[in-house]
Amino acid sequence: MFDRSGIWKVLAFAGLAMAGPAFAQSFQGWNEFDGPFGVNWTIYGQISGGFMSVDDGFETDQALVDNGNSGTRIGIIGERDIGTGIASFTFETALGTRGSSQIGQTSVPTDSIFGRRTLRFLELKYQGSLGNYAIGQGSMATDGVAEVDFSGTSLAAYSFVSGAGGGFSFRDQSGPLTPIIVSGVFRNFDGGRRLRIRYDTPEYRGFSIGAALGKEVVNPNDDNTYSDFSVRYSGAFGDIETGVAVGYGRIETPTGAVSEALLASASAWHKPSGISVTLATGAQQRGSAGSYDYIKLGYRQDWFALGETRLSVDYYAGRDLLVTSSESQSVGVAVVQDIDRYGIETFLLLRRYAMEDAGTTGFEDVTALFAGARFKF
């Protein structure tokens, strides 16, 4: 079934994808300007989406969607050097079109341009010699901890494997839909964005430490309190670029129930050969016993005059996520091709999701094919 209600979006996306690069080339510097009180302002954003086809074992659904791995967004940041450091203000919102990680057989989220749920950042920051301080809606300390990845294919595939088809339900082998959706059993425990206060230490020999405390405000049905802590490292050993992140997250409900999670990721990229290896893992410590492991092999080369080509294959294995005594597995193959002249990245992803539960007769696999492009400005 093709989602005809999204036809206008593919026309708009195609038009913007063609006109955007030409506009950017014709008006270099259009998005930067000086404001009162010495504040330098920059408008930024991206257009990111494509076509997705998902086979649940009995039916195939097709739709034009925003990219759930890296969605369409627009923002503005103002910065001023105040002598002792840099003070900044950031506002960023998604455009609210239905995402590839949300749409399912029976759930088609409505578009909500510039709504409460589209808010990404609304924060004040200060970067000084003693560290970085932030207050407002923005990244928690563990945001990105499970997603250190030098493969260059994160636009299509990374440890958040349910970015394509995450809203689809598994069918049991006789055909009916089950209440288990893909994103429920393919999680990476990465920290999100909250209304929070956050502090990060200055980087020392590639290491930095961060901590945050916040509340959920985008989702009106979530009154939990969130706190987390992270340690990050980035550096190079000869020709090998490396990155590592480790984090701890805690969620407390209004009734006092607590869930905790440990998560980590690491990536290494040997630049002369173009080969990269990425690992991620996470485990819930209280409230549930779910855990997962993730591995990705990547390869990037300049084969064409168009720009760099990046390839990857990844594997995800989850245990006891959402359903006790269950196993979830996913394999994905991704290609990202740069088109340097126009500042466009095109991508293609083929991913299969499999789920097993000791208490059932079995589930049909879900297979997603996702192709699209991203233009940044």
The answer to whether residue 8 scores a pLDDT higher than 60 is no
Question: Using CB atoms within 10 A of its CB, is residue 238 exposed (0-12), middle (13-18) or buried (19+)?
Answer: exposed
Phi, psi of 60 (to 5 degrees): -120, 125
The answer to whether residue 275 scores a pLDDT higher than 60 is yes
Length reported for the chain: 377
26-44: pLDDT as tens digits: 556 788 999 898 999 999 9
300-335: pLDDT as tens digits: 999 999 999 999 999 999 999 988 888 999 999 999
Judged by average pLDDT, the poorest of 4-8, 45-49, 126-130 is 4-8
The answer to whether residue 92 scores a pLDDT higher than 90 is yes
172-217: pLDDT as tens digits: 998 999 999 999 999 999 999 999 999 999 999 999 999 999 999 9
pTM, two decimals, is 0.90
Q: Which long-range contacts (CB under 8 A, 24 or more apart) does 339-344 make?
A: 339/306, 339/307, 340/306, 340/307, 341/21, 341/306, 341/307, 342/21, 342/22, 342/375, 343/21, 343/24, 343/375, 343/376, 343/377, 344/17, 344/21, 344/373, 344/374, 344/375
> Left, alpha or beta for 273 (phi > 0: left; psi -120 to 50: alpha)?
alpha
Higher pLDDT, 355 or 13: 355
Tokens of 168: 């689809």
Judged by average pLDDT, the poorest of 95-99, 139-143, 167-171 is 95-99
State the pLDDT at residue 69.
Answer: 96
Residue 299 C-alpha from the chain's centroid = 21
Judged by average pLDDT, the poorest of 1-15, 57-71, 191-205, 282-296 is 1-15
